[in-house]
Amino acid sequence: MIRINIHDAKTNLSRYLPELERGEIIVLCKRNVPIAEIRPIPKPLQGERPIGLMAGQIHVPPSFFDPLSDVELDEYEGRIG
């Protein structure tokens, strides 16, 4: 963790960017009293997301994929109150 005063941040912030990129946190101080933190933004995930992380943990019965009955379809579409 790096502690810097506001004046130092205004004049030298670009010097601290490489450390932020490495994951360092900057504590911004006013007269040596901490008032804020500057944190790096997490890097976005690279590549494709894996699928099937919940495989075997969730059971979907085959009837889930059956078409809705006329009554269920009417209710879903708001035709029956």
| pLDDT tens-digit readout, 23-45 | 999 999 999 999 999 999 988 87
Distances (CA, A) of 48 to 41, 42, 45, 52, 79: 20, 17, 8, 13, 41
More confident residue, 81 or 50: 50
Report the pLDDT value the prediction gives residue 81, as an integer from 0 to 100.
59
Walk me through the domains of the chain, giving residue ranges and CATH numbers.
Answer: 2-38 (3.40.1620.10)
